[in-house]
């Protein structure tokens, strides 16, 4: 019994062209026509300059800004090339150590904020390590520090937090969230 080489090669190259070339081109073309902003990375542009993506965290430890979640992506704290969670178990001492270091940084940036416990999303990484959002509670926790350092009315900062709080998707999926980069950019505009 001989192996039918010609039909196997025709099938291989045909499927390669179909699923490796034609399908990706069709999907990319459709995305560019139907969802152009999203297809290009949901970039946030101001004065013709790309400031970041609404989909990827922008790391900062500047007390003038709201801080996002921890990132374990290696290199620059939000390097999207190395996306992935820390995969540390809740009982792993390294997870507790990282959380403790972050709590100390939060307390050092805002020593007067000792009444409220630190929200868990400010001391843990997300599944991808690139999450651009924090909980409304985490944003409110940081609001007094941001207002004090920027010399803004705390009510204005809390109003911006409320303005950028997105509800559950379709009213049922996920949790309410605040996009840190969008919030920080709005505060930069308000500070001018």
Q: What would the pLDDT profile of 87-120 be if each residue is shown by its tens digit?
A: 677 888 888 888 888 888 888 888 888 777 888 8
Residue 52 to residues 1, 4, 11, 151, 157, Cα–Cα distance (Å) = 60, 53, 43, 25, 21
Single pTM value for the model: 0.74
pLDDT in the model for residue 76: 41
Token look-up 């709080």 returns: 165
Other beta carbons less than 10 A from residue 140's beta carbon: 17
Q: Is residue 171 predicted with pLDDT exceeding 60?
A: yes
């Amino acid at each position: 019994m001989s192996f039918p080489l010609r039909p196997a090669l025709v099938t291989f190259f045909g499927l390669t062209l179909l699923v490796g070339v034609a399908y990706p081109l069709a999907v990319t073309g459709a995305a560019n026509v139907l969802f152009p902003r999203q297809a290009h990375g949901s970039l946030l542009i101001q004065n013709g300059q790309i400031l970041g993506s609404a989909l990827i965290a922008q790391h900062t430890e500047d007390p003038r800004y709201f801080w996002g979640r921890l990132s374990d992506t290696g290199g620059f704290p939000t390097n999207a090339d190395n996306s992935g969670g820390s995969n540390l178990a809740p009982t792993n001492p390294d997870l507790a150590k990282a959380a403790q270091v972050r709590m100390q940084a939060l307390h050092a940036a805002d020593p007067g904020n000792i009444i409220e416990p630190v929200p868990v999303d400010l001391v843990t990484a997300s599944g991808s390590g690139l999450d651009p959002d924090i909980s409304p509670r985490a944003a409110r926790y940081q609001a007094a520090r941001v207002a004090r350092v920027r010399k803004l009315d705390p009510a204005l900062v809390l109003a911006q937090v409320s303005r950028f709080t997105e509800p559950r998707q379709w009213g049922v999926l996920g949790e309410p969230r605040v996009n840190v980069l969008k919030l920080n950019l709005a505060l930069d505009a308000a500070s001018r």
